[in-house]
Amino acid sequence: MYKGIKTLLTLSAAAVLFSACHDNLFESINNEVKLESNGINGAAAISRYADYLLFPTGQLYYKTNESSNTTGLYNRQWNKAQLPATEKVDYIAGQCYYAVSDSTNLYITMHTWYENSSGYNSIKNRQIFTTTDTDFSDGIEWTEITLDDTITPIKLFMNNAVDAANRIAYLRAYDSENSTYKIYKLNGSSAPEELTDESTGLSTDTVTAVYFPKDGNTYFSKYYSLTANDEYMYYTTTYSSSGAMTTGSSIFRANGYGTYYTYSSASDSSVTDPSAAGWYEKDSDDNYVLTSDTEKASGKTYYTRSSAEGFLLDSEAASSTSCNAGGIISIAVTSNYLLLGTTSGLSRVVLSSTGSSTSLDNIPYTSSASFSNNGDSIITEYGMSVFALDPSAAEGDDDEYVASVIYGSISGSSDNWEDTGLYAYYKNRGTWNRDGTSDNSSNGN
């Protein structure tokens, strides 16, 4: 089948009535490519380990991290890794849903499921395993990491450094004894180390981290979307609460974390001495300064100051840009664009405040940019994760990936389940398409 043609054909009769739409419609059709039969279903974050890329969707898939520009290879390059033996429940083995790494080790979670009294699947057991094997072709030797009985692993995440020497892996877990979530640094097969330093954003809500090359620090966030280049960190305010996702539509830009201040007009009529009340005024350069007025000056505006902790841009609150891409779920950085996974598919925004791709300043533009290939229409559902193999390369000059899923009702979606999952862009092929294993009997799963 051809991705996107289903929707386009239903619109074609109406489109001929509007000449302004005519060219755009057929340009979209011309950009469509036939979907390949082999593609991994499921959505997960791609991660790096040793010379591999990893994609955990129950199975743990791996492939070389060497660029297709060098190998000349495209689809059907993923393989299934050998997973550790776990307890089988109703003849179903454990499944792998997280895979992260540090400078030496790979870490995965294994979930064992059972059918509860209501007939729904529930997690019976969560285990964490690690390995230092760097050749998966002849099997993998796994070691289980032992946790205290009161600690339940929730998810693994990492700081996504390209250079293995800078990678750190983390565990988010629930401490039932203290009824709180905690963050741990993974340390090979040894016991994880609980982290408490909040100076770079760590909190009990943390679910992501990023390595920031500019200062060599790792920063933490409660938001799903977080990435960085040499100049800025970029994030959106997409988060999950009680199983429901709330998406942000703005991209924030930051270069630090700490305390920032906000000012609002003072309106307390009972205050007679602004100086004693700690009120502020603006000086001739429009800066906020503590007022020295002991009485209110007629016609003068005073301000109160509030403080907050969060991401900073040059010691002030992080700057945001609305790029009209819809709800943003995931972000990957390239040298000239941010690649975006959104609630309606794949998008991108140029890193230029003027919108010119030849005049870059690492500031996201206020409008998303269309792709020169079929990137705009390859998926129409949630782009849960995006990944750029070489963040220093220009968008479209090296391998890129997006993993999609139908979020909500399948019957109400224009996509089929078979159409969701992993897609890849390879420069020399020039288009986006499904990406999977060479196993034709499972359609690349």
The residues that bridge with 212 in the sheet, in sequence order, are: 217
Is residue 351 within 8 A of residue 336, CB to CB? The reply is yes
Is residue 385 within 8 A of residue 44, CB to CB? The reply is yes
CA–CA dist 350, 334 (Å, integer): 10
- Quote the pLDDT of residue 392: 97
- Quote the pLDDT of residue 210: 98
Token digits of residue 282: 């603006």
- Quote the pLDDT of residue 10: 32
Per the rule left: phi > 0, alpha: psi between -120 and 50, beta: everything else, 231 is: alpha
Token digits of residue 377: 């229409």
- Which amino acid would we find at residue 285? D
* DSSP secondary structure, 201-239, as one string: S--TT--EEEEETTTTEEEEESSS-EEE-SS-EEE---E
- Helices then strands, each counted (H, E), the chain: 3, 32
Domain boundaries, the chain: 47-249+324-442, 260-313
Model pTM score = 0.88
- Domain range 47-249+324-442, its CATH number among 2.120.10, 3.30.1540, 1.10.40, 1.10.10: 2.120.10
List, for the chain, all residue ranges whose pLDDT scores fall below the cut of 50: 4-30
